[in-house]
Structures are given as C-alpha cells and as structure tokens.
Structure 1
Amino acid sequence: MHSQSIYKEQMVNGRCLKIFGNSSSGTYINVMHNMDF
C-alpha cells in the first residue's frame, strides 16, 4: 500500500473512502466496499 502518502479514511454509506495524496502525482481517490485488512 501507500506508506509514504497522506492517508485519510472516511466511512461513507457503508463504504470505505480512501484518499491518497501524492505530492508528485496529485490526489488519488479509491472507493471500495468494506474489506477486512
């Protein structure tokens, strides 16, 4: 996973909204269902 990135996790309507911010590539937004890590 992205270990050297700005990580923010929010629960939205039963979904896990993960926002990865990279200073070199901008902001990546990944929306997926709840998964057990």
Structure 2
Amino acid sequence: EVLLVDKAQLLTLSAPEMTVLLGGLRVLGANVGQ
C-alpha cells in the first residue's frame, strides 16, 4: 500500500479515488486470501 500511495501522489489522484482504489484492492486481497 505504501508503494501505491507513492504512485498516487505522483499521479496526483484525489482522496476519493485513492479510497476507492485501496478499498478495491483490499476486497481483491480478501477474496484471494479465502
């Protein structure tokens, strides 16, 4: 997630976009974990 945050800052993503991105990745990670 730290790398994603760094990339997001470079891309200047908005806060809502980051929330959606990280939220989606957490869901995918949870699905893969199961």
For the superposition of Structure 1 and Structure 2, which TM-score range results when normalised by the shorter chain?
Answer: under 0.3
TM-score (norm 2): 0.15
- Greater strand content: 1
- Greater helix content: 2
